Structure 1
Amino acid sequence: MPAHDLYAPESPTPLAPGGGYRRALATSVVFVACAWAFDILKDYTALRLVSAGEPYLPVLADNAPFWVAWMALTPLLALQLRRAGRLRGDAAALAVHVALGALGFSLLHLLLHPVVRIAAFPTALGWAGVPRYLGYSFDRFMFGEVAQVTLLQIVYLALEFRRQAHASRLQAERLRAQAASARLEALQRQLNPHFLFNALNSVSGLVRRGEERAAVETLARLGDLLRSTLALDGRLLLPLGEELMLLDDYLALAQVRFRDRLRAEVDVPEPLLDVRVPPLLLQPLAENVVHHGLRDAERPVTLRVRARRTAEG
C-alpha cells in the first residue's frame, strides 16, 4: 500500500534573532576606536592650550596601553552585546545584563590595563607597582569605565532593536503576501471547474445511489471548505488544529470520489494543535498526493499527516 507522509515538524521561525557576532564585534571595535580617537584629540587639544611646546607623541604612547587593553577585550564585548540583543522584550533581564556587563568589563579592563602597560613599558611601572597603580586606576577611571561600557551597550542595543523591528516588519509583510497568495491559489483551485465538477459529480453519484445523508454531508463539507478559505482573509498564522480541519474537509471530499482508494491517517499530539502555522500549508501537499499519487496507483494510497516538536522548537 503506497503511503505519502505530510510531516510537519514544529519549527517556528524567529522573527528577529539576536544580532550576529560579527555585527556586535564591528560595533565594539568602532565604538572603542572612536573613543580612542576622541581621547587623542582631547589630550592633543589640552597640550596645545596648556603647553604648546610640549611634544605630543609621549602622551600618545602613554595612553596607548589603556586603549590597546580595550581593543583586546572587544571580542568578549561582542559576546556581551550579542547576548543583550536577544533580550528584547524583557526589560528587567536586559537592565540586569547591561548593569552587570558594564561593571564586569570595567573591572576586567582596569585589571588588564597594567599588564599591557608593563608589556609596553617594562621599566616604567614594574610588577611591584601594580597594586598602587590599580588603586589609582580604580579611583580615577572606574566611574568613567562603567559609563563608557553602558553607553556602548545602549548605542548597540538601540541599533540592534531598530534592526530587529525592521526585520519583523519585513517578515510580517512577507507572511502577509504569502498568506494572500496561498488563499488566492486555494480559491482558484476550489473554484476550478474541475474541482467543482468532481465534487458535484460525487454528490450526484451519492443521490443516485440513494445515499441522501452522505450527499448532504458532502455538500456541507464543500460549503465549509469554501467558507473557511474565504474566512482566512488577513490571517498570517492560524492554529495547527484549524489547519487540520481545513485539510479534513478537503480529504472528505476526495474520499467521496475515490472511496477506499484513499485513506488518511492523522498523528498530531494534542499539545501541538495550538502551534501557529501559515494558513493552507497542508492542503496543497494533500492535493499533490491525490492528483499524482492516486493516478497510477494500483493499490489504496494512505496519506499520513504527522507533526512533531523538534529539538530546536
Structure 2
Amino acid sequence: MAGMMRAREALILAVTLWTALSINDFLLLPGGFLILAPGWISSIVLALLLAQVLQRLENLPRQQAIGFGVLAVMATAASQAVFDVTAIMTIGPHVLPGGTGVPGFAIADTFDKAILQFRMSLMWNTVAFGFYAAAISLLNAQRQKLDAEMRALRYELNPHFLFNTLNSIAGLIEEGSGGRADRMVLSLSRFLQTTLTLDPLHDVPLVDEIALQRDYLEIERERFADRMTFDIRLPAGLETALVPSLILQPLIENAVKHGVAASRTPVTIVLEARREADRLLLSVENGLPEDGSAYGKPAGMGVGIRNIADRLQARFGNRWRFSTGPVEGGLYRASIELPLRMVLGCSHGEIRPELHDTY
C-alpha cells in the first residue's frame, strides 16, 4: 500500500510540475507542440525513475543518500538534456520557422550550437529535477513520520488488549473453569495470530474487522456466558467499506469491562454499522450497571479511547467524529463517524445479504 501511494504521489507531482513548466512554452512557441510534447513525456518518465532511485536510497546513511541523490539528479538532468538536443536537432528545423530567432532555442545545426543547447538544457533540467527530488524527499519524510506515529499508536494498543484478555483467563482459572480457560487460550492464540500480523497502516474491509471483534467477543463470552450476549448488525453493501484495522477493539473492550463485568444482570453488546450519505457510522452499545458508576470518569481518559482519537486524527485529519456517553434506555454508546470508502473492484451485487447475528 505504501509503495503504491508513493508511486501515485510521484506521478501526480511529476505531471503537475512539468505541465506547469511547459504551459508557457506551449503558448509562446508557434508550432512547438511536436517538439515540446516528447520532452514533456520523457521528463515525466525520468522523474518517475528518479523517484524510484530516491526511494531506494532511503535506507543508506544520510550523507551517502544525499551524495547519491545529487548524482542521480545530475544523471537524470543530463539524460533529459541529451534527449532535448536530439529532439531539437531532428525535429526543430522542420517545426520551428525562424530557427535561432526563436527565444530559448538555438537550433543545433552545428556542433557549437549543440553544445550550447545542451548546456542550456542541462542547467534548466538540473533545477527542475532538483526541485522534484526535494519535493519527493519531503513527501517521503512526512510519510515516514506519519507511519512511525501510526505504528506507535497501534503497538500501544496490543499490550492493553493482551492484559485485559489474560485477566479474563485468570478469572476463569480462579473460578475453577479449566475447560473454558483452555478454550479461551486457544481462541486467544488464533486471535493474536491474526491481530499481531496486521499492518497498522493498512485499512481493512469492515467485514474483516467485525470478524475479528466477533472472535474477541467469543473469547469474553466464555467468561461471562451466563450474563453476556452480543448482537452484530452489518447491512448488506457495507462489508467492503474500509476502516482502520482494530479501530473497534478498544470500544469492545470497554463494553465488556465497564458494561458486562461491572453488572450483575445480563448485558447485550450491540455492534452496528450503517451508512448515512457518504459517511460510515460505527457504534458499540451496551447496558450500564445498575448504579451507572462504571463510566463515572470523563470520557476520553482511557488508553483505548485516547488511542482511537489519536489514530483517527492521524488518519483522517478533521474528517472524523468520535463520541461516547450514556443514551436513553440505560445504555452507553460509543460512535465513530468516518468518510465512506469502499474496496476497489467490488460492486454491491457481489455482497452477501445483510448480517444480523445474535450470540
TM-score (norm 2): 0.41
Q: Which has the higher helix share?
A: 1
Q: Which has the higher strand share?
A: 2
TM-score (norm 1): 0.46
Larger Rg: 1
